[in-house]
Amino acid sequence: MAKITTSKLLKMKQNGEKIAALTAYDASFAGLFDKNGVHALLIGDSLGMVLQGKADTLAVTNHDIAYHTRCVQAGVESALIIADMPFMTYSNPELALKNAHELMAAGANMVKLEGGEWLYETIRQLTQNGVPVCGHLGLTPQSVNVFGGFKIQGRDADKAKEMIEHAKGLERAGAQLLVLECIPVSLAQAITEAVAIPTIGIGAGNVTDGQILVMHDILGISSGYIPKFSKNYIDIAGTMQGAVELFVKEVQSGEFPDPDRTFN
Ligand code: KIV
Ligand code: NA
């Protein structure tokens, strides 16, 4: 299959075809996901939790992400490769350019940054320098200490309105993709309609243009706890390949996530 690009993902949104994405951290799993129809792979800073066993993502370094990006890149033919920029690696445009360079050189096709208005200038500079950007709004885990825990975001009307404005601002600044994490489905719908770029949801209902999950959750290997919005596909499918195929199929049909895994 041909390499999936940002313009392919945009076309998918325009055609109403859903985008299936998973996190990946190594060549073997990345290859399995790539061969079974996953369109985009994220080297998430969730690796701080699922690989390093920490309680949050804050200790992950740019080198950690670069290393795992090289691993993923080695296993991938088609999927778009997105690398997370870790906590404090993009606190100003200059730092963001330097760290994004390392991730792109490691094999990323796009970088992902958490936040709204404060990132507009950084995103402008990244895209002008040839670095495609994915935004991330809602429950942005790098701000867990500001939020006072991993909590649903955008529940009150003012915050929801602000998030829609930030989504539009990220798009204007040059972002080509947008992750929406743990927000009410009505807000996810409003944002998805307000921007032309594809939205990828996690805990945002089935109204976004695509879905992303942490691979450990769909394969049932997250230590004991699985978030309400996620789904253990290995329980249903029995094999890893079957789990990936079923995830992709349910994303494409809109079956995933069902109302029980959606916030209202
Ligand atoms: O780090 C990560 O895995 C993520 C996704 C859950 C969106 O940012
Ligand atoms: Na992340």
* pLDDT at site 96: 98
Structure tokens at 67: 């290393």
23 Cβ inside 6 Å of ligand 1: yes
Tens-place pLDDT, residues 8-52: 999 999 999 999 999 999 999 999 999 999 999 999 999 999 999
181 close to 204: Cβ distance less than 8 angstroms: yes
Q: What is the dihedral of CA 167, 177, 46, 232, to 10 degrees?
A: 100
94 is catalytic: no
What's the pLDDT at 1? 79
ipTM for the whole predicted complex goes beyond 0.90:
yes
What average pLDDT does the structure give for the chain?
A: 97
pLDDT below 50 — which residues of the chain?
Answer: none
Q: Assign 72 to helix, strand or coil.
A: helix
Q: Is 9 in the pocket of ligand 1 (CB under 6 A)?
A: no
The residue type of 45 is: D
Q: How many C-beta atoms surround the C-beta of residue 2 within 10 A?
A: 7
Cα 36 to averaged position of ligand 2 atoms, centre (Å):
23
- Percent of the chain topping pLDDT 70: 99
The CATH homologous superfamily of the domain defined by 6-261: Phosphoenolpyruvate-binding domains (3.20.20.60)
User: For the whole model, what pTM was predicted?
Assistant: 0.98
171 is in an annotated binding site: no
Please say whether the beta carbons of 196 and 221 come within 8 A: no
Give the model's pLDDT for residue 153.
97
pLDDT of 156: 95
Strands 210-213 and 177-181: unpaired
Residue 45: per-residue pLDDT? 98
Q: What is the pLDDT of residue 222?
A: 77
